[in-house]
Structure 1
């Protein structure tokens, strides 16, 4: 199972378990004293805009092909896993059946599906994101988290060749950009040029900002790829390379001693050579390089922070020492004191806490929120938690971190590192999401033949809608993985990285299984009803500020009837009440009216007010959102 996982996953997906991850990244376990904090008038260190963010996560290669002239080529994917020659290669049809091998793939003769899936490129690019900014704005998203966009051969781009250039195949002139880049001394920022792809990224940022949409980039500061300028030089020159101290080298090539060149890859993955670290910090070479690229993207061309990105999401943050993060935060905040820093740390709150004390990160990708929501809303039978257990777990997360952090953390469910929410619901009962290491493999079709790749039913999508109500009304900044809002489904990596569903593209039915056999065909199309639900809930969140920055109070906990309710309030200005019926049958709920007139802004139902009480009947597995008149 371990070897199958290793070849079937990519990027930040080798986290077999939280304990294994931390054992492999021992530097980060050693905490350091918290440095002097820069607090605002509210006594918080998080940027205030991050509390009001509704995030949209975009995986660029699979979002939209806006410029077919820049499509990847067979040469452009060399160095990506699986790093072996391939005779036949073509741009993969955007609307094709996911598991069906195209003729060019069949001609290669590989029997292992994972190799085909990792070689595929669909042509998503920055122009495609620019073209869909109107869509993102219309849906109500006001912040974008982009998976890596820097130069790299893989589909996921966590194997960077450089961090100071956007991938040429994401821009309008790949060959021209490569020719420009070849004239640089990549280690010397004074020689760096601005390619057309780089400039297109700045155009994306500028156009997003004009729409009130913030953008953060994915920073991978633990490792680079084997195509990186630094590693290529080390491979060639060995100890004589000026980058010899950039990477963790186990042995140098020496014919006299009979030793081969060997180095540390992230989690043993040789395509991802790790930067050398001291106890608390990165080696000086990569650290200086990262500080330089940070300034490049946050203050491009010295034009000012308004032209740069609004922050960073940090990949495998637990694999980099605390000392680096503390220094780097100071650097980032000197460039933009309103920049938002969010970490990927899939672990218990106790392990996450040291990173969120004000001198490293502002928030995290809040998988613990996803785990807790899944245990309450989706887990079957005895695997489910009660309303009171749900309330206790939520309270623990809210109160575990310094003031403001809970409001700025990214509350997600699906991502590029987990199965999509729709497929999670289809396969509820297959393990427990919180058991990250085991569930990671159980939720991969390549590791678990019992995991169903079928489309969710209307009843299952109803459960997804229930989660969205919670996500958009609870404390924290909601984050939606591209395509979840239109009904995309898929198992864990690589199936969670299918091409986005657009109404102007024709899609084949999904009828092919991973082993090539046939199953009942599933239509692939935009689910407009689900899409409208997301749009409605995002609008409700943005329309009522109490849902963004308001206080939280538990309103109702009933384990026998599976009812849970909470209240969000902005002092005397506004109060919102949310009640969830998590049972399989309708429930009547009575709440104190508190001398207020209430209306249901979600269902538009009449709310009965009698004898100082509010009475409402909730359908099974549904909720209400009440606001004062």
Structure 2
């Protein structure tokens, strides 16, 4: 009995520790574009280390770095060596120093772990394509053209995460089998029915968690770890993966990229404690652009119900865009006020917000992908030693974006919207809760206004967003007049409510307790 009680206490302690360390605000860095430390024009690991104080001052708790493993591409999502740092970005010593310096500032490092596929130049694939008898053949998915046709899987429809419609490819002229590559022929998918491959991947993960010291993983293409016709196997795989990872590092942080509708994301929470909420991100974009609510809170609550049915302690990783999506600045055609509204929604709704680098200065970007990943603008061109130059930007240029250095001096800049609201969010338990998101509908029904309640045992807060660029004055509904204390507003002169009336600044947010 004593042993059982000790076990229960230990597991509870581990769970509490893991929850304590759950990052509140995360930041995605496209490494090549963020900060250059050596003047070669390419963003690198030491460049990120040099900017840690900036990121800490912004209020960031965790950094998701896009892949840094050795790879032939600029984006590094086609890995050729899972245990080497690409020379473009630095060395393993640089990476370990980044982790050490980040930890000194209580910032966690999340590795982008690309295990759905490798590069076709990876040693495993170079061996596998030699023939059916090669010991690495089973590391990948191979079928004959006849079998592919009989299963009806020769082609697929485009999806948000892959525009490939012909996912089967011959490795060599005259082959009798094709290999499966969901994203393109240069990224062959791995075969997780192969126990040797699973062990390889788990050993690689252990290397990064134990020897290198990362805090967790962002799991690329988590929905596609098995091909679409074997989707049910994905859920079981991620449950096993999580068990293996927590055995190595009990407080490991894991977030999945499952790019699909919320109802199909839900089962992944059985294994993955956090998943990106793509539907919510697109919904925020829509209401910001249209400047009117579209039942956002009802939709989010319905998604929470689905997520919670699979894992009551789910973490809702929220975004307004990322390195694969049109930047919010371009979605709203460069309208700074609309960008501010999007930021305010992201940072006041429940969940664990992810900020894509440059959103805090209003960067722009549309497809093709390179233009979603343009250089961060730190300073005026003549004074910007950190700015990368690996590409010529099309959207985020000196003519379109005020550099960070100037925005830091301007209290009305979008940068200060992010910085001030992150700081405020962290001081309010009702806003900073991540696990088991707390959200309740408001009865405010004014056109162009979105209200919601964040519930908490320390006291609920009422959040009211003005989605329009016109100031509004609204009277609180009778059942929400208990919210009497104004605790946040972008209008300094507004200190309190008068006659239950709230003055909403244009494109602003007011928070009451």
| TM value normalised by structure 1 | 0.65
Distance 1:354 1:346 in 2: 13
Distance 1:260 1:298 in 2: 39
Distance 2:416 2:375 in 1: 20
Q: Relative to structure 1, is the Cα distance of residues 607 and 589 closer, same or farther in structure 2, using a 3 angstrom cutoff?
A: farther
Q: Relative to structure 1, is the Cα distance of residues 418 and 264 closer, same or farther in structure 2, using a 3 angstrom cutoff?
A: same
Q: Relative to structure 1, is the Cα distance of residues 472 and 272 closer, same or farther in structure 2, using a 3 angstrom cutoff?
A: same
1:156-211 deviations in whole A, cap 9, x for unaligned?
A: 1110001122213321xxxxxxxxxxxxxxxxxxxxxxxxx223212111111110
Q: 2:442 pairs with 539, 552, 555, which one?
A: 555
Q: Please give the residue correspondences for 1:49-68 in structure 2 after superposition, counting only pairs within 5 Å.
A: 49=20, 52-68=23-39
Do the aligned residues in 2 keep the contact of 1:555 with 1:565 (CA within 8 Å)? yes
1:3-43 deviations in whole A, cap 9, x for unaligned?
A: xxxxxxxxxxxxxxxxxxxxxxxxxxxxxxxxxx9997599
Distance 1:44 1:599 in 2: 32
Do the aligned residues in 2 keep the contact of 1:565 with 1:580 (CA within 8 Å)? yes
Q: CA deviation at 1:372?
A: 1.6
Answer yes or no: is 1:363 the counterpart of 2:274: yes
Q: Please give the residue correspondences for 1:231-310 in structure 2 after superposition, counting only pairs within 5 Å.
A: 231-235=125-129, 237-250=130-143, 259-260=174-175, 263-267=178-182, 269-276=184-191, 281-300=192-211, 308-310=213-215
Do the aligned residues in 2 keep the contact of 1:143 with 1:213 (CA within 8 Å)? yes
1:114-147 deviations in whole A, cap 9, x for unaligned?
A: xxxxxxxx41111111111111111111111111
Distance 2:85 2:507 in 1: 45
Distance 2:393 2:423 in 1: 38
Q: Relative to structure 1, is the Cα distance of residues 407 and 352 closer, same or farther in structure 2, using a 3 angstrom cutoff?
A: closer
1:486-534 deviations in whole A, cap 9, x for unaligned?
A: 12111031210111111164489xxx998xxxx9964663361111221
- Of stretches 291-300 and 200-209 in structure 1, the one that deviates more from structure 2 is 200-209
Do the aligned residues in 2 keep the contact of 1:50 with 1:477 (CA within 8 Å)? no
Aligned to 2:79: 160
Do the aligned residues in 1 keep the contact of 2:23 with 2:62 (CA within 8 Å)? no
Q: CA deviation at 1:601?
A: 4.7
Do the aligned residues in 1 keep the contact of 2:209 with 2:249 (CA within 8 Å)? yes
Distance 2:360 2:424 in 1: 16
1:340-369 deviations in whole A, cap 9, x for unaligned?
A: 211111111111111012xx1011111111
Q: 1:322 pairs with 212, 235, 241, which one?
A: 235
Do the aligned residues in 2 keep the contact of 1:584 with 1:621 (CA within 8 Å)? yes
Aligned to 2:342: 467
Answer yes or no: is 1:600 the counterpart of 2:484: no
Distance 1:38 1:368 in 2: 38
- Partner SS, residue 168 of structure 1: coil
Distance 2:98 2:11 in 1: 30
Do the aligned residues in 2 keep the contact of 1:233 with 1:243 (CA within 8 Å)? yes
Unaligned runs of 5+ in 1: 1-36, 72-121, 172-196, 301-306, 427-455
Do the aligned residues in 2 keep the contact of 1:602 with 1:625 (CA within 8 Å)? no
Distance 1:523 1:589 in 2: 34
Q: Please give the residue correspondences for 1:84-123 in structure 2 after superposition, counting only pairs within 5 Å.
A: 122-123=41-42
CA RMSD of aligned residues (A): 3.3
| TM value normalised by structure 2 | 0.79
Do the aligned residues in 2 keep the contact of 1:601 with 1:626 (CA within 8 Å)? no
Q: 1:347 pairs with 244, 250, 260, which one?
A: 260
Distance 1:461 1:258 in 2: 53
Unaligned runs of 5+ in 2: 1-7, 146-171, 226-233, 408-412
Answer yes or no: is 1:546 the counterpart of 2:418: no
- Partner SS, residue 556 of structure 1: coil
1:295-340 deviations in whole A, cap 9, x for unaligned?
A: 001111xxxxxx6211111111111133322221111010112112
Do the aligned residues in 1 keep the contact of 2:128 with 2:138 (CA within 8 Å)? no
Answer yes or no: is 1:401 the counterpart of 2:401: no
Q: Relative to structure 1, is the Cα distance of residues 161 and 55 closer, same or farther in structure 2, using a 3 angstrom cutoff?
A: same
- Partner SS, residue 439 of structure 2: strand
Q: CA deviation at 1:587?
A: 2.0
Do the aligned residues in 1 keep the contact of 2:22 with 2:253 (CA within 8 Å)? no
Aligned to 2:69: 150
Query: How many residues align structurally?
Result: 450
Do the aligned residues in 2 keep the contact of 1:265 with 1:271 (CA within 8 Å)? no
Tell which has more relative contact order, 1 or 2 (C-alpha 8 A, sep 6+): 1
Aligned to 1:568: 454
- Partner SS, residue 501 of structure 2: strand
Q: Relative to structure 1, is the Cα distance of residues 523 and 390 closer, same or farther in structure 2, using a 3 angstrom cutoff?
A: closer
Aligned to 1:225: 119
Q: 1:134 pairs with 53, 65, 73, which one?
A: 53
